[in-house]
Amino acid sequence: MTVISAQNLDLTFQTNDGPVHALKGVSLDIEKGDFVSFIGPSGCGKTTFLRCMADLEQPTGGAISVNGTTPEAARKARAYGYVFQAAGLYPWRTIGRNISLPLEIMGYSRGDIAERVARTLDLVELAGFEKKFPWQLSGGMQQRASIARALAFDADLLLMDEPFGALDEIVRDHLNEQLLQLWARTEKTIAFVTHSIPEAVYLSTRIVVMSPRPGRITDVIESTLPKERPLDIRESSEFLEIAHRVRDGLRAGHAYD
Amino acid sequence: MRSGLPVLSVLAVIVGVWYLAVAPMNVRVALDQAERADAVIVPEGSVPRRDVSVWRLMLDNSDYVALGYALERPRLPTPGQVGAELWKTTGEMIAKGRPFSKRGLIYHGWITLQSTLWGFLLGTTLGIVGAVAIVYSRTAQLSLMPWAIISQTIPIVALAPMIIVLSSQVGVEGRGLPKAIISAYLCFFPVLVGMVKGLRAPLPAQLDLLRTYNASGLQSFLRLRLPASLPYLFTSLKIGIAAALVGTIVGELPTGAISGLGARILIGDQFGTPLAIWSALFAAAILAGALVTLLDLVQRLTLKRMGLA
């Protein structure tokens, strides 16, 4: 089943310096259960593409559907969870109450909320931190809490915009491993924006390489790695080969500027 | 308290300078009084003395300088005299069992406090409602904000009598309401400005997040904008309540009011009783300090409960 389908998508921002082509002729299908990473230099439109899926930006041309409907209808049906680059937890809410925020807005019952908060905290290994305020947690833990917040209402689609971009390498490795386990357990479809090649290769079933001015897709790489991926798979020749293809794709995108 | 020592040091300096200033300020009155009591003053007579500097007078008549510290109607009373007058019009009244006597500052302070609180309530409400309108409607932003700024450039002393006259024309009895309006006029502005800033404090990503939940406007307001604005609101409220008190006192000054701290200041001026002016002035300062401290306490408790402090 196709979860996201984009055909010939264009998005042009009108700025004072003239039009900026954030997306130009972008076509891509994401199947259910896929883990798709978008990689490319800044300005290549990867975040813009993700925001189009979330109905946070309106494309100026082409067509995009989410779950077979428009992004707007999907957003209104709360079809996806979105994780931003900054955890963006509300400082005046405890971790538990941050995770219950979408549930309160969506009108879940009190008992249901308590049960879901406990379950998702468990899922991101933050059980016991429910009563803590965000500033009492490390950056990595805050980002895990923000993932729990996106998972709390059981959307089948997870849109993640460089969620680990601001974290150090060690924490990032750990969270990558956890995210893979979570993806295997929940069988969600994940669209994941990153600018780290190892991260993209380690996590994805498919890697979409993009390039800037205008933002477009230059290569789509199917991963041949098994679904079970210990961290040391990153030293295997298969992994390095895929990483090499990604790097080649990125370089090709830069060739004419 | 850590902040105690610096505050007390500054207070000590102020009191010290004040005591030193009393001698030159009061020397002429003191010498006039001594001359009437048959003392020999150089030069003789208060008219020739006008051409002599206070420093010269103090040097030539050093025996009588001390009199300046115990005058009944000094140009500048000593801190001790002001303190004694404050005590006489408050604590002593309570001791006598007549705390609300019209001769005491408790009664007048209460009158002023009432108007201040009404004005504060009115001004704060206006400020918050105005800020919400400005944040949510571009039309309101373009039409309200310039007027809010212009309103603060009009001297309140000029406006206060007009408000009193106009409100009596439409049949409003007493001075309570017009005073509250004058006080609200000063108080709404800091609340409006602070609240606009506070309601706009949420980051674009935080607003996007609520959009991904398909949250309604009311939900975003109650769950994001309002809590995000509270630290700004409290800061504004502390400025606002001090402004409301100033507004009330100004409302009592030029309007023929007979009760309230402002009226005491004016009457003290007309009857030449500087002690009454100074004690009313200090009563107002103490009242403002108490109100701001109270709001500060509420702020600390609220923000602490919200995990923000």
Q: What is the ipTM of this complex?
A: 0.88
Local confidence band at A255 (pLDDT 50, 70, 90 cut-offs) = low
Do the Cβ atoms of B308 and A76 come within 8 Å? Answer: no
Strands A35-39 and A189-194: parallel
- φ and ψ at residue A69, rounded to 5 degrees: -120, -175
Centroid of chain to Cα B130: 24
Q: Is A235 exposed, middle or buried (0-12, 13-18, 19+ CB in 10 A)?
A: exposed
Sign of CA dihedral A87, A90, A94, A96: negative
For chain B, how many residues are written?
A: 309
The predicted model gives B125-147 an average pLDDT of 92
Could you give the percent of chain B with pLDDT greater than 70? 98
**Distance separating alpha carbons of residues B237 and B296, to the nearest angstrom:** 9
How many distinct helices (H) and strands (E) make up chain B?
A: 14, 0
pTM of the model: 0.82
B217 is written with which tokens?
């406007």
Mean pLDDT (chain B) is 89
Facing residue for A88 by CB, picked from B206, B230, B306: B206
Q: Which of B207, B209, B304, B308 to mutate to test the interface with A (most CBs of A within 10 A)?
A: B209
What residues contact residue B232 under an 8 Å CB cut-off, 6+ apart?
B194, B195, B197, B198, B201
What are the distances in angstroms from CA B263 to CA B99, B140, B288? 19, 38, 17
B213 touches chain A (CB under 8 A): yes
- Of residues A80, A85, A105, nearest to B215 (C-beta): A105
Q: Kindly report, residue by residue over B278-299, the tens digit of the pLDDT.
A: 999 999 999 999 999 999 999 9
Across the interface, which of A84, A92, A105 has its CB nearest the CB of B227? Answer: A92
Residues of B with Cβ-Cβ distance to A91 under 8 angstroms: 307-308
Chain A contact present for B306, CB below 8 A = yes
Structure tokens at B7: 């505050």
**pLDDT for position B166:** 87
pLDDT digits (tens, 9 = 90+) for B175-215: 788 889 999 999 999 999 999 999 999 999 999 999 999 99
Residue type, A62: G
Q: Closest-CA residue in chain B for A133?
A: B307
What percentage of residues in chain B have a pLDDT greater than 90?
A: 49
Lowest mean pLDDT segment, chosen from A184-198, B84-98, B105-119: B84-98
B208: nearest CB among A56, A76, A92:
A56
> Between chains, do A94 and B307 touch, taking CB under 8 Å as contact?
yes
**Alpha-carbon span A132 to A117, nearest angstrom:** 14
Q: Is the dihedral of CA B287, B293, B297, B299 positive or negative?
A: positive
Contact yes or no for A90 and B224 at CB 8 A: yes
Identify the three-state secondary structure at position A45.
coil
Given a cut of 70, whether residue B233 has pLDDT beyond it is yes
Distance from CA of B191 to the nearest CA of A (A): 22
Query: A254 falls in which pLDDT band (50, 70, 90)?
Result: low
Residues of chain B positioned with their CB less than 8 A from the CB of A55: 211
CA distances from residue A44 to A243, B98, B166, B211, B253 in whole angstroms, order as listed:
19, 80, 65, 24, 67
